[in-house]
Amino acid sequence: MNPFRYAQAADAGSAVTALLGDRGMRYIAGGTNILDLMKDDVEQPTLLLDITHLPLRTIDAGPHGVRLGALATMADVADAAPVKSGFPAVSQALLAGASPQLRNMATIGGNIMQRTRCAYFRDVSQACNKRTPGNGCAAIAGQNRNHAVIGTSENCICTHPSDFAVALLAVDTLVHVRGAGGLRTIPIGDFHVLPGATPNRETVLEHGDLIEAIELPASALARNSVYVKVRDRASYEFALVSVAASLHVTDGVIRDARIGIGGVAPKPWRSHAAEAALTGRPPTPETFAAAGVAAASGMRGYGKNDFKLTLTRRTVVRALEHAGGLA
Ligand SMILES: Cc1cc2nc3c(=O)[nH]c(=O)nc-3n(C[C@H](O)[C@H](O)[C@H](O)COP(=O)(O)OP(=O)(O)OC[C@H]3O[C@@H](n4cnc5c(N)ncnc54)[C@H](O)[C@@H]3O)c2cc1C
Ligand code: SF4
């Protein structure tokens, strides 16, 4: 690990100003992701700015939804009654991630900023365009069982590891960010970006941007949401494929739907094709099967991860059976 300095942020505004003036500086929240990457020499900040003393831990519920401070822990958010009742997929996704110890430490802001678990990215002896642009991608012809099947580029085929961010897609979440130009709001679907020619860029945030809050707007759709995660072992494991599904059904017809998919793309993947296959149709096994097929359309495997196409189809159906009351 490289030597680095440590400082505590006094307030949100001065934290942003400090980072804007120093490209080697990085925020640290729970530290469960950035410290691992520093130990592996994947990240080498010269100064860590500790934001954990900022007043961004509150969970505020009202008639219009829930506002989560970016420093609220995964455990506290998963446990919050208004999140469990109004946004069940969000609570389920948080509880399906990491371990109790990690969830007590890790923050939700850090969760949506966490970096890929691609083993080549974390091994500095391997070629990785995300770590070193122009270096190549060892995963494309390598051990790519855990890698992406949609949204990839010739430069990077990694997956985004966050369960929470997948669930946020199913409930129309907004991310509130403070940056050089003041406060702005970013819909979660626009927050992460695909690798394209610049896999080193993962979100629309600029250096210095600070996530202050994550807002969950109340809706009938969000109240009827579920999260299903398929993984190699039952706990303490990242998703092979996961699905967050939300359905709003009245008079036997699906009026609105959201399908977020994890473990398949370099960003939390929203399947508009699956949503279109659901909307205006009855919540039947046939409709759900068609949505599963639509979700997997456009996917391609890289050899060892070909199974993810079938797994996506089946996991979408399973999540819809739960959201649609057929399970
Ligand atoms: C063994 C293990 C298993 C795990 N399993 C899972 C899993 O199954 N599912 C899952 O979803 N996650 C999993 N995780 C990841 C874990 O959830 C993340 O490490 C954690 O959520 C990151 O939060 P943090 O507060 O510790 O972030 P930090 O490590 O402090 O920060 C991570 C990044 O976010 C930036 N950052 C933090 N807060 C802000 C902010 N407010 N604004 C702007 N930037 C910010 C930091 O600069 C840094 O770049 C696992 C982690 C480990 C170590
Ligand atoms: S898949 Fe992406 S993160 Fe993994 S080695 Fe290739 S470029 Fe790096």
Would the CB of 148 count as within 6 Å of ligand 2? no
Q: How far is CA 230 from the centre of its chain?
A: 16
Within-domain flag for 205? no
Burial of 14 (0-12, 13-18, 19+ CB in 10 A): exposed
Atom of ligand 2 nearest to the CA of 116: 3
For the chain, the domain total comes to 2
Would the CB of 265 count as within 6 Å of ligand 2? no
Within-domain flag for 121? no
Within-domain flag for 131? no
Query: Mean of the per-residue pLDDT values for the chain?
Result: 97
Q: Looking at the CA of 138, which ligand is closest?
A: 2
Percent of the chain with pLDDT over 70: 100
The torsion defined by the Cα of 218, 221, 226 and 230, in degrees rounded to 10, comes to -110
Report the pLDDT value the prediction gives residue 235, as an integer from 0 to 100.
86
Would the CB of 128 count as within 6 Å of ligand 2? yes
User: Using an 8 Å Cβ cutoff, are 246 and 323 in contact?
Assistant: yes
Residues contacting 4, CB < 8 A, separation 6+: 38, 44, 45, 46, 47, 48
Within-domain flag for 75? no
DSSP 243-305: EEEEEEEETTEEEEEEEEEESSSSSPEE-HHHHHHHTTS---HHHHHHHHHHHHTT----STT
CB neighbour burial string for 112-129, b if at least 16 within 10 angstroms, e if fewer: bbbbbebbbbbeeebbbb
Residue 45's CATH number: 3.30.43
Residue 281's CATH number: 3.30.390.50
**Residue where a domain terminates, one of 34, 50, 66:** 50
Given a cut of 90, whether residue 139 has pLDDT beyond it is yes
Given a cut of 80, whether residue 43 has pLDDT beyond it is yes
Given a cut of 90, whether residue 326 has pLDDT beyond it is no
Full domain range(s) for residue 297 = 220-323
The H or E element that residue 187 is part of is: strand 182-187
| Nearest one of 272, 286, 270, 273 to 324, comparing CA atoms | 286
Given a cut of 80, whether residue 327 has pLDDT beyond it is no
Q: What is the pLDDT of residues 21-30, one digit of tens each?
A: 999 999 999 9
Q: What is the pLDDT of residues 273-304, one digit of tens each?
A: 999 999 999 999 999 999 999 999 999 999 99
Q: What is the pLDDT of residues 212-271, one digit of tens each?
A: 999 999 999 999 999 999 999 988 899 999 999 999 999 999 999 999 999 999 999 999
Within-domain flag for 303? yes
Within-domain flag for 206? no
Within-domain flag for 312? yes
Identify which of 20, 49, 57, 114 to mutate to test ligand 1's pocket (most ligand atoms within 8 A of the CB): 114
Q: How far apart are CA 137 and CA 126, in angstroms?
A: 8
The two beta strands, 59-62 and 25-28, are: unpaired
**Residue 152: what are its φ and ψ, rounded to 5°?**
-85, 175
Given a cut of 90, whether residue 84 has pLDDT beyond it is yes
Within-domain flag for 172? no
What's the whole-model pTM score?
A: 0.98
